[in-house]
Structure 1
Amino acid sequence: MALTGLLLGALLGLVLQRGRFCVTGAFRDLWVARNTRWFTAFMIVVAVQSIGVFALQALGVITLAAKPLPLIATIVGGLIFGVAIVLAGGCATGTYYRAGEGLVGSWIALAMYALFSAVMKYGPLKPVNDGLRALTVPQTTLYDTLGVSPWILVLVLTALVGWATARHLTRAASTRMATLPPRRSGLAHMLFEKPWHAFATAVVVGLIAIAAWPLSFAAGRKDGLGITTPSANLTRWLVTGNPASIDWGVWLVVGILVGSFVAAKASGEFRVRVPDARQATRSVVGGALMGVGASLAGGCTIGNAMVQTAQFTYQGWIALAAMVLGVGVGAKFFVGTHRRDGALSGASGVDASADAAGEAPARPLRLTPTP
């Protein structure tokens, strides 16, 4: 059953790569471009997953177990992680799928992220990590505090996300995208040439996140999508050779690399791109801080901001706010003010993660003419 992690990870990697779905760009657009399109897409993932997660629990397929909130570690870790992903040029999954595209800067950031996740969870910084995460408050979930059914919060979240989605779709209906003549046809065109809509990509990612729960449970791992601990476990296996380190989550992250590589090759977007010395240094520092921050916070933009939020845990929503704030701080210091005209906007067609990494996007810019 652990191999289902590899298959689901490959599917996730393909979808992330073809949909250009990177959470760093979604968060950064809020500050730099004042654009909420990709953040809305991110929240679609959370809303879709929340419906599936609580449906699976109601059916007895999975059991959700919220833990006391490590408040200080969550805030500090989230802030560190937010700044780090700006430096590294991508979030955890964004770094994985960009590595599959051939970006050497992402290779560096990914290696440092996995290494420092292991250092925090199993190495010399484990006492620091465990000590800070042991400082907890009893609050676990929002619905427990409010004394309501989680389905009330699911309905509220879905309604808000639906409203935001409708607003963006209405605006988009007034513009037309200028596209190049297709070179492929049929399924090949749909999968590997035609640009994927951000919201459609988000729905697919949400469905994959739902599928991760029963598949992971069946393999003995009682959780959904997760990147940080599997990355640390992969590092521990590479160092010790202990097969006990290889679980469903490790196969998942390996699958993301495989899937993104296949998607990049099939779409003609794979190319080895070497960063300059400045960006290579940022990749080293950013990747290391990603590992530190995600370990402290109890998860990255996937395990915390996407999975924990779908369960309406305090940890997830506080971490999300801290990460968004951290990205804002990182953008202020590491992203030039000349980009405020929308150069980093997901709506502009520019790959934000590649742009931040100092490397040109693999695909040509698509202009949006006025009708």
Structure 2
Amino acid sequence: MIITGLAVGAVLGLILQRGRFCITGAFRDLWVSRSWRWFTALLVAVAVQAVGVGALTALDVIAPEIPPLSVVAVVVGSFVFGVGIVLAGGCATGTYYRAGEGLVGSWLALVAYALAASASKTGFLAPVTTWVQGLWATGLTTVPATVGAPEWTGVVLLLAATVLLVRRQMRHAAQHPVGIQLPAQRSGAAHLLFERAWNPLVTGALVGVVAVIAWPASWATGRHDGLGITAPTSNLLGFIVTGDTNRLDWGVLLIVGIVLGSYASARASGEFRVRVPSATVINRSVGGGLLMGIGAAWAGGCSIGNALVQTSLLSWQGWIALVFQVLGVGLSAYLTLIRPRRARRLAREEALSRAAASRPQDEAEPARVPAPL
């Protein structure tokens, strides 16, 4: 039955690769371009999953367990994770699907991520993780439960907020079209799947549907969870190093499937190409991968486990993690993108000013020729 993990992962990998769905980009755009385009797509995925999980729970197909909130671990871990995903060039799933496209930097980031996550969850850094998670541990689980409201009220409010943002995004997209659609080279399903640019909102909805399917598929194998990346990544490394087949579960096949699905999609769309980055990018990728692994282990989840899955369960852990991942991305984006861009712009303006000031007066202001009588 765990083979369903491979199938779900392959479908998810195809959707992520073709839809260009990356949570890092969604968070980064909030700071760099003030765009809510991809963040809205993420909320669509969360809302779709919230409805699906609510229905599956009501039908007694699954019974998700909500982790109690550990404030310091979630806040600090999520912030560190947010900083790391900008340096690595992608979140957990974004790094996996870009690895399938042939980005060597993502390969290195994944290795660093796996090492740090494994060390922080079960290795020599595990005592530190346990200590951090013990700081300011609470019994808070879901937001509705804390305020004494039925769980469905939270789902309704989430749906309402998402609908408002979708309407806003659709109006903005109609007024400001993004991208240029190239002439079709294929026809039918091949054109739609591997050539035509995917709508972000449709991509988000598809990710949400796959996230819903993941719950009963994983549950049937004895893994009582939905989509997840950090724990499966740690288990995959443990399986490779020790050969312990107990680590080879549905989640491990899920992440393997993401890479395979992304690779197949990139090959079919002509986007696969092995790309070796510069030394600077390699250093950033490795450093970012290490921060991702440590931060996700502390926070109890990555951008998928917390920002996609736990948010759909309306847990405090998920929504607080989402906020601090966005803040971590904001700091990292400012230091690596926004501030250098501003510095380059100011340098160009100063150079132009100096050049204008150094020009001879007769060059700067050409002599006026009297008009003929």
TM-score by length of 1: 0.90
The equivalent position to 1:190 in structure 2, one of 189, 192, 206, is 192
Cα distance, 1:174 vs structure 2? 3.1
Distance 1:339 1:202 in 2: 30
Give the letter for the 1:139 counterpart: L
Whether the aligned pair in 2 keeps the contact of 1:140 and 1:314 (CA below 8 Å) is: yes
2:326 aligned with 1:324, yes or no? yes
How far did residue 84 of structure 1 move? Answer: 0.2
Aligned residues of 2:181 and 2:197 also touching (Cα < 8 A): no
Match of 2:140 in 1: 139
Determine whether 1:129 maps to 2:129: yes
> Quick check: 1:229 aligned with 2:231?
yes
Per the TM alignment, residue 336 of structure 1 is displaced from its structure 2 partner at its CA by: 3.7
The whole-number CA distance in structure 2 between the counterparts of 1:149 and 1:87 is 40
Distance 1:303 1:76 in 2: 16
Match of 1:101 in 2: 101
Equivalent residue letter for 2:302: C
Give 1:260's aligned residue.
Answer: 262
Q: Considering only aligned residues, what root-mean-square deviation do their CA atoms show, in Å?
A: 1.1
Aligned to 1:364: none
Q: Does the CA contact (< 8 Å) of 1:33 and 1:339 recur in 2?
A: no
Aligned counterparts of 1:128 and 1:337: Cα–Cα separation in 2 = 33
> Matched residues in 2 for 1:43 and 1:197: separation?
14
**Distance in 1, Cα, partners of 2:277 & 2:340:** 21
- The code of the aligned residue for 1:145 comes to T
Q: Name the CA distance, whole Å, in 1 between partners of 2:143 and 2:175.
A: 39
Residue 64 (structure 1) aligns with: 64
Q: Could you tell me how far 1:167 is from its partner in structure 2?
A: 1.2
State the Cα distance separating 1:140 from its structure 2 match: 1.1
| Aligned-partner residue type, residue 75 of structure 1 | V
Aligned to 2:161: 160
Which of residues 309, 312, 319 is equivalent to 2:314?
312
Q: Percent identity?
A: 55
Q: 1:172: how far off? A: 1.7
Aligned counterparts of 2:98 and 2:17: Cα–Cα separation in 1: 8
CA distances 1:58-104 after superposition (whole Å, capped 9, x unpaired):
00000022232111100110010000001000000000000000000
State the distance in 1 between where 2:40 and 2:283 align: 32
Distance 2:190 2:34 in 1: 35
Determine which of 257, 282, 307 is the counterpart of 1:280.
282
**Equivalence for 2:152:** 151
Pick from 296, 312, 331 the counterpart of residue 298 of structure 2. 296
- The aligned counterpart of 1:25 is 25
Mark the runs of 5 or more structure 1 residues left unpaired by the alignment.
Answer: 341-371
TM-score normalized with structure 2 length: 0.89
Q: 1:314-342 CA deviation, whole Å, 9 max, x = no partner?
A: 111111111000000101111144768xx
Q: Superposed, which structure 2 residues align to 1:6-45 within 5 Å? A: 6-45=6-45
Match of residue 241 from structure 2:
239
**Residue 119, structure 1, aligned to residue 87, structure 2:** no
Match of 1:92 in 2: 92
Q: 1:339 to 1:202 in 2, by over 3 A?
A: farther
**What are the superposed Cα offsets for residues 31-62 of structure 1, whole Å, 9 maximum, x if unpaired?**
11111111001111111100011110000000
Q: 1:46 aligns to what? A: 46
Q: Does 1:170 align with 2:171?
A: yes
| Structure-1 separation of matches of 2:175 and 2:72 | 45
Q: Secondary structure at the match of 2:175?
A: coil
The one-letter code matched in structure 1 to 2:326 is V
Distance (Å, rounded) in 2 between the aligned partners of 1:255 and 1:323: 26
Distance 1:67 1:27 in 2: 24
Q: Which amino acid aligns with 2:83?
A: V
Contact 2:194 2:269 in 1 (8 A): yes
